[in-house]
Structure 1
Amino acid sequence: MRRLNFRYHRVLRAVLLGFLWWGALTTTVIAQDAATGPQNQAPPDKEDLSSAPAQVDVQPVAQDEEIRRRLLSVMEATGWFTNPQVQVQDGVVFLSGRAETDEIKKWAGDLARNTQDVAAVANRIELSQPSAWDFSGAWTGLSSLWRDFVRSLPFLVLALFILAFSVLAGWIAARTARKFLRRRVRGKLLRGVLAGGLGVFVFLAGAYIVLRVSGLTQLALTVVGGTGLVGLALGIAFRDITENFLASIFLSVQRPFETGDLVEIAGATGYVQQLNVRATVLMSLDGNLVQIPNATVYKTVLQNFTTNPNRRETFVVGIGYDDAIDKAQEVARKVLADHPAVLNDPEPWVLADDLGKATVNLRIYFWVNGKENSWLKVRSSVIRLVKRAFQLQGISMPDEAREVVFPRGIPVTLLDGIPEKTPSARQRQQPDAEPPSEELDAVATKAEAGLSSDAGELEQQARQAKPLDEGENLLRDAEQGRPPNVRE
């Protein structure tokens, strides 16, 4: 009975001590909060309250004063705190003062929490606000940068060495490729593009190795992938420029024309002066410089009159229905056969082409050496001589039939007797006398200024024109100083 009462008293005493401890703790906290006032009260976000311990000793071994002195001595010994203060009441530790960083504040709370017989920790340590003139953070950052720079010096030296080696290797690769392709690739522009592409590839490989050595593997992959994306974006943005550049490469390789060739491109006829990376330049027959984009040259129909120096010309002449067609054909054929600028091989033709309203139309075909003679002048000479021969042979060349309308009419008077015989068309068109001009029978008149080709005159006009500054002529072989494969 006495043992049971003793146990009962022990339990009752423990419960009373617990209530007393809780009351003392509550009273102390309320009193301290009232004493500090609202101005000195730490912000809720800066107070770190530890969780309740799993077990609280009823009779602690360490006293509050011993705990306070121990914690205060440790905090002062670190030198991390400004004006550190420690208060302990019934195992509850109250920390105050200032710390530089949140990690130091947390460290103080963990220190108090791990101290023997500490029931709870109220961490009221405030973080120090740096002064506006405090440059310690800047110096710390500079010091950190300097340390990082010193640590990265070996990698930097190695990266510079690899980068310099890649530049040199790219230059050597490009130069070697140019020498290797000089005899194997015809177009100089294509040789430059292939050699330059090889040099850039070698340099990018070196740059990739530099990034890998520096530990920037992800950046290296980004650069490699981004280069292709950037190239695709630039190709889309500058589609016309890219198209002209690629067309210039194809034209310089295929060589559909050479410098000085007479060509017709997109309706423009002239002598080729230059092929650059953007356009093809022609000297028109009127003496004007014409620039045609290379993309248009590559995609459009192109006629090269210099590839085959022989050029066929044609014109139509009408004779009367009363005239014999075979006679007119023979007269015209003889004129063509006797003309010095008309080629006998291929043979000229004189063909009946059409039956018109008032004439039988003959179409005359003949060939001219366009390299030696001007087809315009030869055509003019042939037309003039055929007309002259028809007149001398009495072959009529009537005008086209016309319908004449007289709105007010024409008075007609009938004559008495037999009307006078009206002359026939052949009789009306017979010349009274042959014109005594020797120039009419000449092959070339003064007005035609000879039959020679005018390519030399146009070349002289091109030299006198304003010089073009569009880049190098891709049709010229820099090694030989003349257009390659010149057509004789």
Structure 2
Amino acid sequence: MIRLLAVLICLCATPIWAQDTSQPQGTITVADSATQDAAIAVRIRDILGELDGFDGVTVSVSSGIVTLRGTTVDASTAVRLNELVGRVEGVVAINNEVTETTDVVARLNPAVERFQARITQAIALLPLIAVAALAFICVLTLGMLLARARNPWERIAPNAFIANIYRQVVRILFFIAGVVIALDILGATALLGTILGAAGIVGLAIGFAVRDTVENFIASIMLSIRQPFRPNDVVEIQGDIGKVIRLTSRATILLSFDGNHIRIPNATVFKSRIVNYSTNTERRFSFEIGVSSDADLADVRQMTEETVAGLPFVLAEPAPMSWIERIGDGAIFLTVTGWIDQEATSLVRAKGEALRLTKARIEGAGIEVPDTTYRVQLLGGLAPATEAARPSPPPSPTKVPDVPEVAAADVTDMSEPGLDKLVDAERSDPDAPDLLTDAAPKE
């Protein structure tokens, strides 16, 4: 049992590189010559003497079997011995007992020698490195100067944002060209593939990490090339309604009619449903009005259409319309519409004026416009039983009041002083970039 443990310990202590099973191949001769063994040993020593890293290796040959002892700097050098010795003629087998040295000085000397050799090589390459660096700087400077020029970038780009993208592309191309030229001068163009491959992997990882930012950037480019709105247009984007202040490289900024800034990311704008109320000159307004249930609805409908059509600010074509919308609590409701030129008429004022005059016309014809609001009135006490049982007298007929002719008010004033002041202040800010231009095509 003790012998078995000793054998296992010896096997575990044997270096891995000494267990290499690669041996010379070929027919073993019958004759055994001491002269030949000596010649093999001398030949192997001469070979190892010319190579670095085998100074501590000793060689002995008996009957064509080569025994190698000693130490080497690293394991790979020890493994190479079998390959070298096996190529010598007459070698029958190889017994490699070489181990890796643990001497710190012996192991550090090759590293120091390699470092010194690289420093010497770098010093010798300094003039070539200087020429490569000068070529890189010249190419990069040329690209910077070309990118800073106003023409042709501002001439071929639809706006300043796209022109800046062109300039960035030019800078990147000249930077890559400078690197390629410098590496070619140094004779290290093989590094370019490694650099570009690493840059591609890093760029892919960054792209996934900032996917929303990249999507927003691309949407900004698309919106700046083909613009769905102009400054001061009234638009609705995802339920937000307001006037367009500007389009930046990141977001579209609206000013609501309450004076609030609405900042919508361009990626959202590009994918959303956009309603532009300023694209068409004609715009329809509508309102709802209720009449009593005993009214002649056909006459009321005709009356409302005639009233709206007679307003000076309402367009004759398309003609005003009205229809019975629904039956509500205590009234029948009609929807009335009319068209205006929104460049000459205020929509909200036109709608309000049409509603006022329509109500006056209906009431002037003796038709009640009921108040559908419920009112609860609390009385001081209950009436006596005799009075409660007494029937109430029939209501006296109401006399239709004489309604004087009502003239339409002026609704051509389009100004909203507070809102217009805010829009003008935002538009005139020189430090706030705007990608909206009249020269760009509009969708």
Same fold (TM over 0.5): yes
Amino acid at match of 1:225: G
CA contact (8 A) 1:258 1:486 kept: no
How do residues 113-128 of structure 1 correspond to structure 2 at under 5 angstroms? none
What is the CA-CA distance between 1:377 and the residue it aligns to?
A: 2.5
Give the 3 Å change call, closer, same or farther, for CA 99–385 of structure 1 in structure 2.
Answer: closer
- 2:331 is the alignment partner of 1:351: no
Give the 3 Å change call, closer, same or farther, for CA 455–301 of structure 1 in structure 2.
Answer: farther
TM-score, structure 1 normalization: 0.60
CA contact (8 A) 1:274 1:474 kept: yes
Aligned to 2:226: 254
Give the 3 Å change call, closer, same or farther, for CA 354–299 of structure 1 in structure 2.
Answer: same
Given candidates 200, 205, 210, the residue that maps to 1:233 is: 205
Residues 235-244 or 158-167, more deviating: 158-167
Amino acid at match of 2:186: S
Amino acid at match of 2:143: G
What is the CA-CA distance between 1:237 and the residue it aligns to?
A: 1.3
What is the CA-CA distance between 1:368 and the residue it aligns to?
A: 3.0
Given candidates 246, 254, 265, the residue that maps to 1:274 is: 246
Report the Cα distance in structure 2 between the residues aligned to 1:345 and 1:175, rounded to whole angstroms.
56
What is the CA-CA distance between 1:484 and the residue it aligns to?
A: 4.2
CA contact (8 A) 1:188 1:252 kept: no
Deviations 1:3-48 (A, max 9, x none): xxxxxxxxxxxxxxxxxxxxxxxxxxxxxxxxxxxxxxxxxx9xxx
How do residues 11-160 of structure 1 correspond to structure 2 at under 5 angstroms? 143-160=116-133
What is the CA-CA distance between 1:164 and the residue it aligns to?
A: 1.8
- 2:306 is the alignment partner of 1:333: yes
- 2:414 is the alignment partner of 1:443: no
Counterpart of 2:125 in 1: which secondary structure?
A: helix
Give the 3 Å change call, closer, same or farther, for CA 485–128 of structure 1 in structure 2.
Answer: closer
Given candidates 182, 187, 191, the residue that maps to 2:163 is: 191
CA contact (8 A) 2:311 2:354 kept: no
Counterpart of 2:321 in 1: which secondary structure?
A: strand
Given candidates 425, 433, 439, the residue that maps to 1:472 is: 433
Report the Cα distance in structure 2 between the residues aligned to 1:309 and 1:344, rounded to whole angstroms.
11
Deviations 1:355-397 (A, max 9, x none): 6265454322122333444322321222122212222232322
Deviations 1:174-229 (A, max 9, x none): 457x6335344423322332342243123213323433443434321122233333
Report the Cα distance in structure 2 between the residues aligned to 1:148 and 1:289, rounded to whole angstroms.
64
Given candidates 445, 460, 463, the residue that maps to 2:421 is: 460
Deviations 1:119-143 (A, max 9, x none): xxxxxxxx999898xx988975664
CA contact (8 A) 2:308 2:338 kept: no
Deviations 1:229-250 (A, max 9, x none): 3333222211110111100100
Report the Cα distance in structure 1 between the residues aligned to 2:249 and 2:174, rounded to whole angstroms.
25
- 2:211 is the alignment partner of 1:207: no
Report the Cα distance in structure 1 between the residues aligned to 2:345 and 2:289, rounded to whole angstroms.
23
Contiguous gaps of at least 5 residues in structure 1: 1-44, 46-53, 61-97, 111-126, 445-449, 477-482
Report the Cα distance in structure 1 between the residues aligned to 2:117 and 2:300, rounded to whole angstroms.
109
Report the Cα distance in structure 1 between the residues aligned to 2:365 and 2:430, rounded to whole angstroms.
58
What is the CA-CA distance between 1:398 and the residue it aligns to?
A: 3.2
CA contact (8 A) 1:274 1:281 kept: yes
Report the Cα distance in structure 2 between the residues aligned to 1:192 and 1:355, rounded to whole angstroms.
57
Report the Cα distance in structure 1 between the residues aligned to 2:101 and 2:365, rounded to whole angstroms.
124
Give the 3 Å change call, closer, same or farther, for CA 145–396 of structure 1 in structure 2.
Answer: same
Report the Cα distance in structure 2 between the residues aligned to 1:100 and 1:311, rounded to whole angstroms.
90
Counterpart of 1:343 in 2: which secondary structure?
A: coil
CA contact (8 A) 1:333 1:348 kept: no
Percent of aligned pairs with the same residue?
26
Given candidates 184, 188, 196, the residue that maps to 1:216 is: 188
What is the CA-CA distance between 1:441 and the residue it aligns to?
A: 5.3
- 2:324 is the alignment partner of 1:363: no
Report the Cα distance in structure 1 between the residues aligned to 2:323 and 2:189, rounded to whole angstroms.
82
Report the Cα distance in structure 1 between the residues aligned to 2:285 and 2:278, rounded to whole angstroms.
15
Deviations 1:333-374 (A, max 9, x none): 3355234xx232434413233462654543221223334443
Q: Which has the higher contact order (CA 8 A, sep 6+)?
A: 2
Given candidates 388, 393, 402, the residue that maps to 2:365 is: 393
Deviations 1:417-441 (A, max 9, x none): xx844446xx37x34x769xx9x85
Residues 266-275 or 141-150, more deviating: 141-150
TM-score, structure 2 normalization: 0.66
Aligned to 2:277: 305
Structure number with greater Rg is 1
- 2:259 is the alignment partner of 1:283: no
Amino acid at match of 1:413: A
Counterpart of 2:152 in 1: which secondary structure?
A: helix
CA contact (8 A) 1:287 1:462 kept: no
Report the Cα distance in structure 2 between the residues aligned to 1:355 and 1:140, rounded to whole angstroms.
98
Report the Cα distance in structure 1 between the residues aligned to 2:102 and 2:296, rounded to whole angstroms.
120
Deviations 1:33-81 (A, max 9, x none): xxxxxxxxxxxx9xxxxxxxx99999x9xxxxxxxxxxxxxxxxxxxxx
CA contact (8 A) 2:300 2:362 kept: no
Deviations 1:232-286 (A, max 9, x none): 3222211110111100100001011122211111100111112112111111111
Aligned to 2:289: 317
Counterpart of 1:290 in 2: which secondary structure?
A: strand
Amino acid at match of 2:324: D
CA RMSD between the two structures: 5.9
What is the CA-CA distance between 1:298 and the residue it aligns to?
A: 0.6
Residues 257-266 or 226-235, more deviating: 226-235
